[in-house]
Structure 1
């Protein structure tokens, strides 16, 4: 006996709900693995962590790039309020200090995901393009806080951008092995030393 319209609709809605649930579990599993230190989780590992079949992973994400795209959106949602919060102080130096403190929070949130993306970006047009966009945005966010006279000093600008870069944060945290608190203190010390030499 054929199902009626109501029963068929319920069946379709159930499939959609299961699909949404699987999608969320796959994304959460990938993010948990990366945050846990597995920077190159395989699709099979993601499927195991999510408690779904391997075919389910590929049914929701045609390739791993689409999974990274989804993760990038979630991470961006986490950090965007910090990035876009207004700067209230009329003194540009105070605002650069504020930016330095914000960068510590933002970069620490991003750290495992950017490390994972860095491993894959040479094989991924999406991740390579995203990397270029993020580096440009990070630089622009520094430049917009600087007065015109300061922006005209190329070496000062480049030194500030380097001190406030993700690569600097990664080096302090990973290569030097500093805690989040100490790394934030070192980054602020570097910025203070630089802006202390700037007249304007």
Structure 2
């Protein structure tokens, strides 16, 4: 009789092989998106595919292998920016009077609008030629409006003019005008937006 431990005949697991081409593809994809975003932040609001390729340090054909057109690249950027700002946008509000929540919304809008400003400026240039960007624009505007309406009590919601004034004061259009058209600093633009909202809150008699 043989004694001792019987060795397992099961084959050893081989180390996982890395697909070099796939890894290079992922790297190129990421570099393209990052290059596009860097160009936009740097002030080139309508970079060409050739400019993106140059910034990413890759060939133009590689850009179009990863993205069929510039719309698909904008879609990728939209997803990246959305992931960045949605925790701020959708964070729950504390249990406090509605006016305090509106003031909290002002602070949130300043953060989100300033983060997204260059990308929304870039998208605005292209949206009239892009069904994707036009659709995205409409969805964001509706969401921003809905987030304001959720904070307002019933009696205030019946005051259409007051509601529309608040929506206008808290809109990205207002932020763009202050920052881009009037060339205010982010701090000054935030102060102006806050003052506009305070002026409107002061006209609302109902304090629910």
TM-score category by the smaller chain?
over 0.9
Q: Which runs of 4+ in 1 moved over 4 A?
A: none
Name which of 128, 136, 139 aligns with 1:122. 128
How far does residue 21 in structure 1 lie from its aligned partner after superposition? 0.2
Pairs within 5 Å for 1:69-84: 69-84=75-90
How far does residue 89 in structure 1 lie from its aligned partner after superposition? 3.7
TM-score (norm 2): 0.90
Counterpart residue number, 2:43: 37
| Distance (Å, rounded) in 2 between the aligned partners of 1:96 and 1:132 | 23
Compare the two structures and name the one with the higher helix fraction: 1
Counterpart residue number, 1:173: 179
Counterpart residue number, 1:92: 98
TM-score (norm 1): 0.94
Counterpart residue number, 1:146: 152
How far does residue 65 in structure 1 lie from its aligned partner after superposition? 0.5
Counterpart residue number, 2:53: 47
Counterpart residue number, 1:66: 72
CA shift digits 1:63-108 (9 cap, x unpaired): 0000000000000011011101111042000000000111000000
Name which of 21, 26, 30 aligns with 1:24. 30
Does the alignment pair 1:137 with 2:143? Answer: yes
Name which of 181, 193, 196 aligns with 2:199. 193
Uncovered stretches (5+) of structure 1, i.e. residues with no partner: 1-5
